Every structure is written in structure tokens, then in C-alpha cells.
Amino acid sequence: MKEKNALKNKVLTRFILIIGILLLINIISSRLHKRIDVTSEKRFSLSTPTKKLLKGLKEEVVIEVYLKGNLPAGFQRLSEGAQDVLQEFQAYGGSKLRFKFFNPIEGKNDNEKVEIFKQLSTKGINPVNLKIQRDDDDGYSEKIIFPAAKISYNQKETSISLLESHMSMTPDERLNYSQSLLEYKFASAIKQLIIPGKKKVAYLVGEGEIISANTIDMLTTIEKYYDLDTIDINQNIEISKVYAATIICKPSFPFDEKNKFKIDQYVMQGGHLLWMIDPLRMELDSLRRSDATMAVDYGLNLEDILFKYGVRINPDLVEDFLQCNPIPVTVGNIGDQPDIRQLPWMYFPFSIPSSKHPIVNNMDAVMFTNVSSMDTIGNPEIKKTILLTSSERSRRVPSPVRISLSSLKFKPQAEMFKEKNIPLAVLLEGKFQSAFANRVDPNFLRIYTDSLKKDYAIECEQPNKMIVVSDGDVFINDFSQNRGPMECGYYKVTDQLFANKTFILNCLEYLTDDYGLLEARNKSLQLRLLDGVRVKNEKIQWQLLNIALPIALILMFASAYFFFRKKKYEGKV
């Protein structure tokens, strides 16, 4: 009896000890939480700025993703990718972040669906109508999905599209690209909601900069993310430091030394600049009135200040043989009707980014109009990053440039375009030196510092950054009498939308964002696609291999186990 009780106590003690050890391990593991990402592209790792953002959440973030249901394979991967990203978000945001996936029109009748479409449309969420091939190859079926999400925080909400477009990518590559941007999109939306106020951005006027119906789309878009002011440089004694960034877009009048000094001191005080400069005057409207025109120098008088900061915009035009948009040209008549054709116009190039910098990494093409070339200056204190370039078949045409539609009659020869990757947009970072060091009149300086109580600096106290683009039209939207202002980057001749708006917003975010969330745009996921032909031809073979073979192996193991067990105990009987 004593042995039996001792055995019971021993078993009970072991059981309690095991339970205690498991509880202790559980407590330690919850305190020392660690996740390991073993994928080569760090698919399940978040960037440091994103982690910082999520750990600092004060209120609950609720994310609703509408991509759920019986989806095609590519969109199923996108949905699963969103779930993986949000699970990582939850690991750092904890109880402050919740998410759910659902199909907003599932189980709804036609009238309810129409109402849901209207509600989602007001939030900027539009459906995508997919054509899906049936398994029996008997035609296609249609399916409406919503590749989008709504993010709510502290009684505020915003929406994001999970699906990206990209001119140079196949449909599968676009879906993979969309998946690589999920972290950045979710994190940016959360940051937009939690930051109490918008940063101030200035749009500079006073030197012939464009501000009209042709800039309304971009200015309206910027106002969604920033507190945008229009300031006249001639009416202000300085550009205030309250502006996190200042936009200088397509000036057409020469800058005098006084206004250049204002810009220079703004930079020395830590202000960020987004330059979009056309050195040559060339308008397409003049070609509509005449067969030829001249592109002449504006004489903006900005060469010295830009040179000091580390870049030179050349008085020329870039012709691109490989990457250019067409223009409609009347080449003759068909009966009594003009014969209008779209012919490639090498002065309208577009740039497909190859840089891995987060501003342009994996971004779609950016459209330019009469863009000039740039050269960087050998200043070791300034880091230069080329963001956008021409193609591998391009050339520079120095000013004055005679531009004639008659040149379209002759087919250009590829061997004449020998220059590759001409810089069109450059990021400059470092401690800039003042362009007015040792040049300021002592009397003016005394008035500036003593009477006006302004600080004069000959270099930046902290590293600064600016972006220079050699085309002001990158900011411009087209205008139609019927449709009104069109979207920035939309080219009506080919009905294509370029990534001009994304590029400008990314530039402003990089210049003003303290979190550095653009780092998440550097994530690149490797696309691993199955061979569609083999999948179709070998479908039964792989089904048997993955379903029948495991069952057969289990049955073989069970049969062998019972056979040897029976043989073992039969010998003892």
C-alpha cells in the first residue's frame, strides 16, 4: 500500500513539475518574444521606422481589408501577403492594433451592392472587375473584388489601394510589386492618422512660376498631406523656417541676388528644397502655329547657387531614342480628311527608375516634357544620388535648339544616340555651403543682422537635403475644356498615367518625414511562379504525388508496424 501511495505521489510530483516548467517557459517566452525571418528577401521583417511607429501607438488602430473570398491565385497571394504583414504589425503594436478580412458584397443583393459601391467610392475605394478563365476552358467568368483597405484611428479614417500599376511589368509582376509595398502603405496610412498636425510646405511664386489650372491637381493632392502655403518671394524678407520644404516649380524670370540670398539662407537654416527647373523656354503650342520653333535660354541666373550645392542644369534638351512618348502629327490627307498619326517625339522622354533609392525604388515610369540634362559637381561633402535618368540610347542637344516637326519625316538612327543614363533628377545630401560666403556686402549684412534681427549662416549646422529635377513640367497636369484638369502624369495622347504624382509625393516625404518610412519601399520580393503549361499538363500527376503518396506511405508504415508487433508477441506465446 505504501509503495502504491509513493508511486502516486511520485507521478503527481512529476506532473506538477512538468506543468510548472511549461508555465515558466511560457512566461519567459512571452517576456523574451523573438521572431526569426529566415527568408532570403526578409519577407516577414519590418523596417526599423515601422517598428518605431507601431510601438508608439497611443490609441487603437483598426484595419479592415476587403480582399477576401474565392480569389484568383495572384490576388490570393496578395491577400495572404497583407495578412502576413498585418500579423507582423500586431506583433509590435500588440493590443493597439486589430485587423480583419472580409468581402463587403458577400451575401448582398443587387440593390445592397449598388449602395455599398457608392459608399466605398466616396472613400476612394473602387472595385476591380476580373475575368477568370474557367477550369473547363469554356470561356471566362467575371468577379468583382476590392483590393483595398480602410484604416481607422481615434475617430479618423483613411483608405489605401493594395493594387499597384506598373507599365513595364506583367500582371503577375504587378501583383508581386503590390505585395512588396504593403508594409509601406499600411505604415504611411497609420502615420497620416496619428500625427496631430500636417507639416507646412511652401509653393514659391514671384519669378514666373506656374500656378494655374495646370498645377491644380498636384497642389490639391499635396494639400491632403501637408499644410500648403503659396508665398511670394518678392513680398517676404525671408522663407520662414516653419516650412519643412519649399517647392520651386518652373520659374521663367531671372532671379536677382536678393531672392537667391533668401533661398540660400533658408537652406542654411535647415530648409529643404524641391527644385523643378526648365532652363530653356520651349512650348509645344508654338509648334501648332508653326512647323518649327526655337528653344532658348530663360536666363534664370541660378547656375552659381545650384553649382555651389553640387549640381549643374545644362542649357540643352535631351533626346531619347528608346523611351519617348508620341505626339499626333498630320502626315497628309485621306480624301478630304487629315491623316493624323502618332509619331515618337524624342523631346518627350519618360524615365523608368533603375535606382534602388526608396524615393523611386520599383516605381513606375515618370513622364518628362522638354527635359534638360544635369551634371553633378565633385564636392566630397555632398552625397549625390541619381534618381531618374534617360535610357541607354539618348543624347544632348545644346541651346539654342531648333525644333521642327519636319524632323519626324526622317527615321532617326540608333547609332546617333550614344549617351546612356543622362541624369534628369538628383538627390543632394550633406552640409551645404552658402553660395554667398564672402560675397555679402558688409553694409547689407549689418542691416540684416542688426536691424532685421536675422541670423546669417555660411554653412548648414546639420546635414540637409534637396532634390533637383531638370524639368518643371513633371509637376504639370493637362487641361481639357470638356474634362477640366486632368491628373498629373496623365498623357492623353496614349491614355497612359505615369508616376509623376507618386514621384513628387515621395520626394516631399523623403525631405520632410522624421520617421523615415520610405525605407519600407526598399523591400523587394522575389517572384517564384509555377510553369503554367506544366501545371495544366501534369495536374493529375502532382495531385497523386501530394495526396495519394502520403496516404500510401502511412498505410505501409502502419502495416509494417502491426506485422512486426504481431511477430514479436507471437514468439512469446
> Is the residue at 218 inside a domain?
yes
Instruction: Looking at the structure, tell me whether residues 428 and 286 fall in a common domain.
Output: yes
Instruction: Looking at the structure, tell me whether residues 292 and 366 fall in a common domain.
Output: yes
* Residue 550 or 82, more confident: 82
Q: Please, which residues bridge with residue 297 across strands?
A: 280
Phi, psi of 335 (to 5 degrees): 70, -125
pLDDT value of position 430: 94
Is the pLDDT score of 481 beyond 50?
yes
Asked if residue 339 lies in contact with residue 333, where contact means CB atoms within 8 angstroms, the answer is yes
Number of domains the chain contains? 3
Q: How much of the chain is in helix, strand and coil states, percent to nearest 5?
A: 35, 25, 40
Asked if residue 190 lies in contact with residue 533, where contact means CB atoms within 8 angstroms, the answer is no
The sheet with strand 366-367 has its strands ordered as 324-334, 337-351, 366-367
Q: Above pLDDT 90, what percent of the chain? A: 42
Instruction: Looking at the structure, tell me whether residues 557 and 424 fall in a common domain.
Output: no
> Is the residue at 21 inside a domain?
no
Mean pLDDT of 2-19: 70
User: Beta strands of 206-336 (E only): which ranges?
Assistant: 227-232, 243-249, 272-276, 280-281, 292-297, 311-313, 316-320, 324-334
pLDDT value of position 467: 97
Asked if residue 422 lies in contact with residue 323, where contact means CB atoms within 8 angstroms, the answer is no
Of 176, 194, 212, the residue at which a domain comes to its end is 194
The 10s digit of each residue's pLDDT in 216-265 is 999 999 998 899 999 999 999 999 999 999 999 999 999 999 999 999 99
Chain position carrying cell 497523386: 544
Long-range contacts of 332-338 (CB under 8 A, 24+ apart): none
> How far is Cα 421 from Cα 393, in angstroms, rounded to an integer?
8
DSSP state for residue 69 in the 8-state scheme: S
Distance of CA 67 to the CA centre of its chain: 21
Retrieve residue 392's grid coordinates: 541607354
Instruction: Looking at the structure, tell me whether residues 359 and 467 fall in a common domain.
Output: yes
pLDDT value of position 501: 93
Is the pLDDT score of 531 beyond 70?
no
Instruction: Looking at the structure, tell me whether residues 366 and 339 fall in a common domain.
Output: yes
> Is the residue at 348 inside a domain?
yes
Is the pLDDT score of 3 beyond 80?
no
Instruction: Looking at the structure, tell me whether residues 219 and 163 fall in a common domain.
Output: no
Is the pLDDT score of 38 beyond 50?
no
The 10s digit of each residue's pLDDT in 398-426 is 988 888 887 887 888 888 999 999 999 99
Q: Above pLDDT 70, what percent of the chain? A: 88
> Is the residue at 418 inside a domain?
yes
> Is the residue at 14 inside a domain?
no
> Is the residue at 38 inside a domain?
no
Domain containing 449: what range? 200-522
The 10s digit of each residue's pLDDT in 259-285 is 999 999 999 999 999 999 999 988 777
pLDDT value of position 11: 66
Retrieve residue 557's grid coordinates: 508504415
Residues ≥6 apart with Cβ < 8 Å to 490 = 477, 478, 496, 497, 498
Q: What is the bridge-based pairing of β-strands 272-276 and 243-249? A: parallel
Residues ≥6 apart with Cβ < 8 Å to 197 = 227
Asked if residue 77 lies in contact with residue 88, where contact means CB atoms within 8 angstroms, the answer is no
Phi, psi of 423 (to 5 degrees): -65, 135
Instruction: Looking at the structure, tell me whether residues 159 and 263 fall in a common domain.
Output: no
> How far is Cα 50 from Cα 114, in angstroms, rounded to an integer?
37
Q: What is the mean pLDDT of the chain?
A: 85
* Residue 198 or 382, more confident: 382
Residues ≥6 apart with Cβ < 8 Å to 198 = 225, 226, 227
CB atoms within 10 A of CB 231: 17
* Residue 347 or 538, more confident: 347
Instruction: Looking at the structure, tell me whether residues 503 and 357 fall in a common domain.
Output: yes
pLDDT value of position 215: 93
> Is the residue at 25 inside a domain?
no
> Is the residue at 265 inside a domain?
yes
Instruction: Looking at the structure, tell me whether residues 176 and 323 fall in a common domain.
Output: no
pTM passes above 0.75: yes
> How far is Cα 400 from Cα 383, in angstroms, rounded to an integer?
32
Name the band, by pLDDT with cuts 50, 70 and 90, for residue 444.
confident
Residue 347: its H or E element: strand 337-351
Is the pLDDT score of 308 beyond 90?
yes
Instruction: Looking at the structure, tell me whether residues 254 and 176 fall in a common domain.
Output: no
Name the band, by pLDDT with cuts 50, 70 and 90, for residue 209.
very high
Asked if residue 434 lies in contact with residue 459, where contact means CB atoms within 8 angstroms, the answer is yes
The 10s digit of each residue's pLDDT in 40-53 is 545 557 888 889 88
pLDDT value of position 266: 96
Name the H helices within 515-548: 532-537, 539-543
In sign, the C-alpha dihedral spanning 355, 356, 358, 360 is positive
Q: Which of 147, 168, 172, 180 is nearest to 69 (CA)?
A: 147
> How far is Cα 47 from Cα 345, in angstroms, rounded to an integer?
42
Instruction: Looking at the structure, tell me whether residues 263 and 391 fall in a common domain.
Output: yes
Instruction: Looking at the structure, tell me whether residues 457 and 552 fall in a common domain.
Output: no
114: CATH: 3.40.30
Chain position carrying cell 520662414: 240
Residue 177: its H or E element: helix 171-180
Is the pLDDT score of 533 beyond 70?
no
